[in-house]
Amino acid sequence: GPCSSLCSASEEAPTVLFTKAIPNGAGRTDIIAEVENKNAGAAAKSVPYTVALYDASQTLVQKVSGTLDLPPSASVPVYIAGVASGQQTVASAFLSIDSSAVFWYRLASDPRIVPTVTHIVESGTTDAPVIQATLANPSVTPLSQVRVVVMVRDGSGNVIAASRTVLPTMPSQGEATATFTWNAPFSGDAVSIEALPLVPLP
C-alpha cells in the first residue's frame, strides 16, 4: 500500500534563509533565524537544529540546539533568547540542519489553525521600544498558548531586533494582542515589522 513517508528522491532539504546574532546586554546574545520548507506536499516534525556562535576571529563562542516543525511550503522563524556568551563578543551565528535527521512525511495540506496578523503598531520610546501585534483567530475553536515571533527590519532588509511572546488564549473567531518590549534602542530605524505565529504540527 502507499507509504506515508516521502521518497528520498522527492525530498528537498530545508533551506536556512538567514541567521542573525543580536546583542542583548552584557554576555548575552539573542538569535533569530528563518528556515524554509520548499516541499509542497510534505512536512517534518521535531527537526533538530544547531546554532553555532562565533566571534570576529571566527572562534567558536557557544553552541545551542533545539527542534522545529516544518509545515508544507512554509517559512518558520527560530528565536533563541539570551544565549550566554561570557566575555566574548558574538559577531556571527549559523544555524545548521542535518538533512539525514529530517523525517519527511506526506501532507497534502496544512491542517493547522494559524492566526492571521491584522494590525501592527510601534510605540514606546527610542530607548524602550514597544510593538503590539493584533492577531485574529479564524476558527470557531479557541486557541491557547500561541507563540508569536516578531522581526524588525531596517531599510536594507536586515533584522535589527526580534522577540517572542505567548498569547495564553485566543477566543473563537476573536482577536488578541501580542506585546513585545525592549530595554534598549534598536540598532537602526525600524522600517518594516513582521509578526509570525508559531503553531506546531499536530
Taking only the tens of pLDDT, the chain with its 202 residues reads 454 555 555 789 999 999 999 998 888 999 999 999 999 999 999 999 999 999 999 999 999 999 999 999 999 999 999 999 888 899 999 999 999 999 999 998 889 999 999 999 999 999 999 999 999 999 999 999 999 999 999 999 999 999 999 999 999 999 999 999 999 999 999 999 999 999 999 9
Measured CA to CA, the distance from residue 89 to residue 114 in angstroms comes to 37
Judge contact between 146 and 138, C-beta under 8 A.
no
Judge contact between 149 and 135, C-beta under 8 A.
no
Measured CA to CA, the distance from residue 94 to residue 66 in angstroms comes to 13
| Full-model pTM | 0.91
Measured CA to CA, the distance from residue 121 to residue 83 in angstroms comes to 28
DSSP 5: B
